[in-house]
Copies of this chain bind each other. A is one copy, B any other.
Amino acid sequence: MTATEPRARARIAEPGEGISLDELALAARNHGMPLEALRYDVTPPGLHYVLTHYDIPAVDMASWRLSLGGAVERPLSLSLEDLQRRPAVTTRVLLECAGNGRARLEPRPVSQPWLLEAVGSAEWTGTPLAGVLREAGVGPDAVDVSFTGADHGVERGVEQDYTRGLSLAEAMRPDVLLVWAMNGAALPPQHGAPLRLLVPGWYGMAHVKWLDRIEVLTEPYTGFQNATAYRLKVDPHEDGEPVTRIRPRALLAPPGWPDFMTRERFVRAGPVPLSGRAWSGRAPITRVEVSTDGGASWDDAVLAPTDPAHPYAWRAWTYDWTATPGTHQLTVRATDEGGSQPVAQEWNRQGMANNLVQRVPVTVLG
């Protein structure tokens, strides 16, 4: 065991251990989308989830440039205006944090303690990365591309600017964008102003914020965020599979009204329309099912039509429930062409890419 190995491991909470002040500090800084905001096709600014690894950087726009170097014929240094003169695309994309659902896992991986709110839908405007890479002239031996943000910090002992690598093939996808606007306005600071990457279909860690350096690599990228942080490991000594595309999930907007402290839900007996969204970053959603008896029986929800122009948007669903007095557990599961959400926990030690079904206890008043 080397001196740095213990810090390279994520900690797992002891059985029954409450949320720590460290975890709470992350929960208070970052924020989820309150689930009643599932009602909006496009999440209003300020309700979309935000995860910032370090601090939101103070970017000096007078000197800001995007640099593109490494294994290219013509390194580039581009101003925001240079980028905005290029062909622009606006696309509606669902984003989800790879750690969504982590805080309900047992045992609990100690990190940003998301329950189920680390999602949001936005309309992103930017220019295809592929065009910029082509202009620079990618070398014949290039394999990966790294993307570095202006946010700086320490993670498990490693001081770093946040950087993610992507295969050249993914980077050249025509829908991968360099984005400067969200919902028709300039990117807000917490969403990566002035520029971020958008990799539709992938969990949030790939969409590098405050992006200011791109490097084309002739060797596979092995930095911290790819090799250590975002991996599916059960044993701490395994390398684990990398976290990539978003697994299917459906969420229900909890019906009725809540208790302030417990968030327990109340509805009155009778017809209760249920609604929510479903998505997958790996394949089209084919089915959403609802259970009002905790998963003993399932019934198909009605799926809204897909919009072929926005394949990575979330999809609305509805279900008519006739609520009878007593307590009920609502649950919902999505199926895409690759399979369904699990109804039992699938655990990994960093709590990544977990898509266990949501469960919503509801008290129906007579």
Tell me the complex Cα distance, A266–B54, Å: 12
**Binary per-residue interface labels of chain A (319-332) against chain B in the complex, 1 for a CB within 8 Å, 0 otherwise:** 00000000000000
Residues of B within 8 A of A156 (CB): 260-261
Interface size on A, residues (CB 8 A): 60
Tell me the complex Cα distance, A30–B261, Å: 12
Counted per complex, copies of this chain come to 2
**Binary per-residue interface labels of chain A (260-286) against chain B in the complex, 1 for a CB within 8 Å, 0 otherwise:** 111100100000000000000000000
Task: From B48, B152, B258, give the contact of A257 (CB < 8 A).
Answer: B152
Q: Which A295-322 residues sit within 8 Å CB-CB of chain B?
A: none
Residues of B within 8 A of A52 (CB): 34
Tell me the complex Cα distance, A26–B189, Å: 24
Q: Is the CB of A260 within 8 A of B24?
A: no
**Binary per-residue interface labels of chain A (149-160) against chain B in the complex, 1 for a CB within 8 Å, 0 otherwise:** 000111110010
Assuming the contacts A19-B20, A32-B29, asked whether A257 and B153 have C-beta atoms less than 8 A apart, the reply is yes
- Which chain B residue has the least Cβ–Cβ distance from A36? B55
Assuming the contacts A36-B55, A46-B50, A56-B36, asked whether A260 and B23 have C-beta atoms less than 8 A apart, the reply is no
Q: Which of A29, A111, A152 is most buried by chain B, counting CB atoms within 10 A of its CB?
A: A29
User: A337 within 8 Å of B by Cβ?
Assistant: no
Q: Is the CB of B34 within 8 A of A266?
A: no
**Binary per-residue interface labels of chain A (3-44) against chain B in the complex, 1 for a CB within 8 Å, 0 otherwise:** 000000000000001111111111111111010110110001
User: A351 within 8 Å of B by Cβ?
Assistant: no
Q: Is the CB of B154 within 8 A of A258?
A: yes
Min CB gap A277→B, angstroms: 15
Residues of B within 8 A of A21 (CB): 19, 103-104, 115
User: A117 within 8 Å of B by Cβ?
Assistant: yes
Assuming the contacts A39-B58, A45-B46, A46-B188, asked whether A113 and B260 have C-beta atoms less than 8 A apart, the reply is no
Q: Is the CB of A53 within 8 A of B260?
A: yes
Task: From B47, B56, B188, give the contact of A190 (CB < 8 A).
Answer: B47
Can you list 5 A-B pairs, Cβ within 8 angstroms, ordered by A? A25-B115, A30-B31, A36-B58, A46-B188, A155-B261
